[in-house]
Amino acid sequence: MRALFLTLLTGIFFLIGIFINKLFKSNKLVETFSIGMSFIVLFNIIFFDIIPEIKEFFDFKYFLIVILGFSLLKILDFFVPDHNHHHKEKLDNIKEHNNHQTHLGVITILALLLHNIIENMVLYNITLGSFKTGLVLCLGIGLHNIPLGFQIESGLKGKNKFKVFILTMSGFIGGLICYFFKSIPLYITNYLLSFTLGMLIYLCFFELLKELFVNRKNKGTYFGIGLGIILVIILHIL
């Protein structure tokens, strides 16, 4: 039961990020800060968590799964309102910006759902072997969930509460899968990791990076990047 509790706890960190964002009233500085920090955190997940995990078994069929994950999020992108962000008409700037932020929040949730389930399946199994190691891993997962919660709230601004609830519980769902099924075939985990990698690559480099470029003159962007780097360094020390 302690292992299940830790998987539930990781989701609470999303709520901490959401609460902090609400505290600062989701202004432009907060939005750009959250985007900068989230980009660094997702970059770290891609290159220092998932890729090292899959490189030993990676071959062409897994490459196709990565492409599938990338393509699925791209397709879903078109079904989320206002995926364009041009600001052509000044009178529509605020409305268009808010709609685009909502779009970014929804895409972030879609990309993170599967990743969070898989990550907490790993957490559950590690905790069964060593509660202390599981606790440290839980803290690491939780710390990178805070800025992601920050980014989600910047986009959704209190809307789509059901999606936020599902994301918050997704880690616990990963724990429950391991609890009821005991062991998941390794090849299934590998497929899921590859699929998740494709989704996160799309989110990181085709959504967040684009936002960083648009907001490159906003100091919040650089504060977010700087704090994100500090957070990643702390996570690697742990």
pLDDT in tens, 199-236: 889 989 998 898 899 999 999 999 999 999 998 898 88
Q: Is 90 exceeded by the pLDDT of residue 189?
A: no
- Structure token pair of residue 36: 């900068």
Amino acid 77: pLDDT: 72
Q: Is 90 exceeded by the pLDDT of residue 60?
A: yes
Nearest to 124 by CA among 113, 135, 114: 135
Asked if residues 143 and 235 have their Cβ atoms less than 8 Å apart, the reply is: yes
- Phi and psi torsions of 15, nearest 5°: -65, -35
Q: Is 80 exceeded by the pLDDT of residue 154?
A: no
Amino acid 230: pLDDT: 94
Asked if residues 4 and 117 have their Cβ atoms less than 8 Å apart, the reply is: no
Q: What is the pTM of this model?
A: 0.76
Q: Say how far apart CA 238 and CA 233 lie, in whole Å.
A: 9
Query: Domain locations in the chain?
Result: 2-237
Q: Per residue in 11-53, pLDDT tens? A: 999 898 888 888 876 577 877 888 898 899 889 989 988 898 8
CA geometry: angle 237, 226, 11, nearest 5 deg: 60
The string of DSSP codes covering the chain is: -HHHHHHHHHHHHHHHHHHHHHHTTT-HHHHHHHHHHHHHHHHHIIIIIIHHHHTTT--HHHHHHHHHHHHHHHHHHHHSS-------SGGGHHHHHHHHHHHHHHHHHHHHHHHHHHHHHHHHHHHHH-HHHHHHHHHHHHHHHHHHHHHHHHHHTT--HHHHHHHHHHHHHHHHHHHHHS---HHHHHHHHHHHHHHHHHHIIIIIHHHHHHTTT-HHHHHHHHHHHHHHHHHHH-
Q: Is 80 exceeded by the pLDDT of residue 129?
A: yes
Query: Could you give the C-alpha distances from 104 to 68, 85, 177, 189, in angstroms and in order?
Result: 20, 11, 29, 27
